[in-house]
Amino acid sequence: MSRHLFVAGTDTGIGKTHAAQALVHAFRRAGERVAGMKPVASGSARGPEGMRNQDALDLQAASAPHPAYERVNPVALEEAVAPHLAALRAGRAIDWPTIDDAFQSLARDYDRVVVEGVGGWMVPLATGMSTEDMPSRWDLPVVLVVGVRLGCISHARLTARAIQADGCRLAGWIANVIEPTMPLLEENIQTLRDYLPAPCLGVLPYRVAPADAAVLLDLGPLG
């Protein structure tokens, strides 16, 4: 089983990067060399060093030792829209060799690579190429991040079912509280525990720094 991981989400904006950073910090606390990676990112800003995406910068900062940005995020797209549309409008092709090379480079140099997807599970990247192909291609177990808010139970169950239907292994899931005033918060998290076909790796409270959230994660099921 691969030691590297793929972090998927039930949707966009539910805290994948936050949870991925927490995982990176948790593995670092266990003594591992760990790199975060976001192979494809839209919503990037152009600067003196080129295109930079904030989620990718956050993952780079959490990694130890720090990898070069181009290895963390080989495809940075400016517009904050679906990546296949951002690439089309930028006149850029998203292709496997570019992101394969970056992943393999990190996998050679680090004990663990935590790869964050883009958006939800089935986001198109290019013709015949989609986000869910990454964990299949690289043989990565999947950690599902559930943004705990109204509607999350159905979204989480549907995503878990899709992960398994695509032949990937759901290694565990993380509850990320994004609506702290949600009615019956604890009851909803318990329902997720009851219905999702993988162990809960932890519950991340609202707006807790990733390095602090790391201590709340159970890495045991991840090997």
Residues 6+ apart with CB under 8 A from 173: 143, 144, 145, 146, 156, 160, 192, 196, 198, 199, 200, 201
Residue 119 and residue 9 in contact, taking contact as beta carbons nearer than 8 Å? yes
192 contacts 146 by C-beta, under 8 angstroms? yes
Of the residues 4, 28, 38, 149, only one is catalytic, namely 38
Strands (E) located in 10-155: 34-37, 40-42, 45-47, 50-52, 75-77, 112-116, 124-126, 129-130, 142-148
Q: What number of helices (H) and strands (E) belong to the chain?
A: 9, 12
**Structure tokens, 81:** 């829209």
In the annotation, is 38 catalytic? Answer: yes
Active site residues: 38
